[in-house]
């Protein structure tokens, strides 16, 4: 490569970056839907949230393709999505959804014929009631979208569902506002210091040890680096299967 070619390439790449930075953070992808107008996801998805209605996420959720899902790191993040550049199918307006599930790739389907969630596609699989807000006619089946990360708006504090057994603690962290996607969690019992938890799957975090009989506090760090501490979230008499509202929020 000559120096001139190199320089031209450099300027061109920089220009693309600049355009990218000036589009309000919008990126390009596609969206489809699953189920019918009544269907939400009540099954435990790949983020491990469990019953999305009980947990307050409702139908405003999406399953993300591999590159967006990022092995579960994106679970809990919120996206604003609008149909883009397709006058035949696009309705005006936008929706906001929380990432709660994984849309698996399918190696036996081409990317443009059902393999929507294959690498490297950026794809959202939506509940039908959300999809119909994007398009004039759901028969479109699949629509081009533009999307961007937005702050999650949640009511109440960060919530903690306590699972596991007497050898280890497993905690689902949900209803997280702000960045939404949690990247680190620590737990503290009355007779322990802060113990770093490991991501087990999705937004389920685990720590070895017996924390029974101790009031629990949690420290939650989101992808934007901010940390919120929720002290004495549970009474000492907590039981596996119970959920507690941390009252603190981003």
Ligand X SMILES: *[C@@H]1O[C@H](CO)[C@@H](O)[C@H](O)[C@H]1NC(C)=O
Site for ligand X, rule CB under 6 A: 106, 108-109
The DSSP secondary structure of 47-98, one letter per residue, reads T----TTTTT-TT-EEEEPHHHHGGGTTTT-EEEEEE-S-TTTBPSS-EEEE
Task: Give the shortest CB-224-to-ligand X separation in angstroms.
Answer: 34
Residue number with CB closer to ligand X (1 or 113): 113
Task: Give the shortest CB-132-to-ligand X separation in angstroms.
Answer: 24
Residue number with CB closer to ligand X (19 or 107): 107
Residue number with CB closer to ligand X (116 or 250): 116
Nearest CA to 92 among 82, 100, 78?
A: 82
Residue number with CB closer to ligand X (58 or 115): 115
Hey, what are 49's tokens? 């949230």
Distance CA 46, CA 244 (A): 22
Task: Give the shortest CB-124-to-ligand X separation in angstroms.
Answer: 17
Distance CA 42, CA 58 (A): 9
Distance CA 54, CA 157 (A): 15
Task: Give the shortest CB-106-to-ligand X separation in angstroms.
Answer: 4
Cβ neighbour number for residue 163 with a 10 Å cutoff: 19
Residue number with CB closer to ligand X (54 or 109): 109
Task: Give the shortest CB-64-to-ligand X separation in angstroms.
Answer: 16
Q: What are phi and psi of 10, to 5 degrees?
A: -65, -45
Q: Are 249 and 157 in contact (CB under 8 A)?
A: yes
């Amino acid at each position: 490569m000559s120096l001139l070619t190199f320089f031209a390439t450099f300027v061109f790449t920089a220009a693309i970056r600049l355009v990218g930075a000036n589009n309000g953070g919008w990126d390009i992808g596609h969206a489809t839907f699953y189920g019918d107008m009544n269907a939400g996801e009540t099954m435990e998805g790949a983020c491990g949230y469990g019953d999305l209605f009980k947990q307050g996420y409702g139908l405003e959720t999406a399953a993300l393709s591999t590159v967006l899902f990022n092995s579960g790191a994106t679970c809990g993040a919120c996206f604003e999505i609008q149909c883009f550049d397709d006058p035949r199918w696009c309705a005006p307006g936008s929706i906001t959804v929380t990432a709660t599930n994984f849309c698996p790739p399918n190696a036996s389907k081409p990317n443009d014929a059902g393999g929507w969630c294959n690498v490297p596609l950026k794809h959202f699989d939506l509940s039908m009631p959300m999809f119909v807000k994007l398009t004039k006619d759901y028969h479109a089946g699949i629509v081009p979208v533009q999307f961007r990360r937005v702050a999650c708006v949640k009511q109440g504090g960060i919530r903690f569902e306590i699972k596991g057994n007497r050898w280890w603690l497993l905690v689902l962290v949900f209803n997280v506002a702000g960045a939404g996607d949690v990247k680190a969690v620590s737990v503290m019992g009355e007779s322990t210091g802060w113990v770093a938890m490991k991501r087990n799957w999705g937004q389920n975090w685990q720590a070895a040890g017996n924390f029974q009989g101790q009031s629990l506090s949690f420290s939650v760090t989101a992808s934007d680096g901010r940390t919120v501490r929720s002290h004495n979230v549970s009474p000492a008499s907590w039981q596996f299967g119970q959920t507690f509202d941390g009252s603190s929020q981003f």
